[in-house]
Structure 1
Amino acid sequence: MRTTTRNVTLWTVQVLLAALFLFAGTMKFVMPDAALAAQSPFSVSFIHFIGVCEILGAAGLVLPWATRVARWLTPLAAAGLVIIMVGAVATTLAIGGGAGAAVPFVVGALSLYVARGRWRIPTAVTPLPARRAHAKAA
């Protein structure tokens, strides 16, 4: 895939995922605690924690690349969201959600695509100085 096309694709996926996670994270605070407790086997405090992680992950998907500051945070944010989605898939399967696990699986796969696509390995690596052989003491 050409670099320009890949960059546009990554940006599109990043923005869509950021909107999704911002919405999902915000809903975890807007919904009444009783409704949250009825939908999940986890405590309300843990659900709020996941909501905070989703909101921060949404910001981490877009802001570092948009501001060109600390771009290394974007693949880390995407990787963190992959972990959240692995938990979502496992939880959905554990409570008998079967086909309901498809949505978090796809969202996790898209997050993994962003994490891999934005991961940069430094190309200018400074080689270590050559070791000198020490003269043997006679």
Structure 2
Amino acid sequence: MDGGDRSDERSVGLDVPAELGYSDEHVWVGQSEGLLSLGITEYAADHMGDLVYVDLPEVGTRFDVGDELVQLESSKAVQPVIAPVAGTVRHVNGEVAEDPEIVNNDPYGEGWMVKVEPEDDEPELLDDGQYRNLLRKSK
């Protein structure tokens, strides 16, 4: 964290890394070496429960904002991961397909799902403060 006010983090009870962007659909986006990494937030992972299946797209798949990019299945629900950016899949995390619990245990680290080449240099995402506000409203 950046050493800022952690009372916001405690008020929502979840980790919300400041260096990531977020969507209203609880997808996080991180940037590294010209690609965007995407995964689900701790909030989404907690609400899904223990994941039992992750269906990842093929490398080379092109998608638009709002498309269903990944399909998640838990004992509670089947839920799509909605793309917050448009782009092309360049890498998929086969580890999460083999062991979906990785997403529950480390959603912001080893639990990343896809790395994409974005079409927009400035995707419209929430910052950590805006995402915390969204979480407070959804309680």
- Name whichever structure is richer in helix by fraction: 1
Report which structure shows greater RCO (CA 8 Å, sep ≥6): 2
TM-score bin, normalised by smaller chain? under 0.3
Q: TM-score, normalised by structure 1?
A: 0.28
Rg larger for: 1
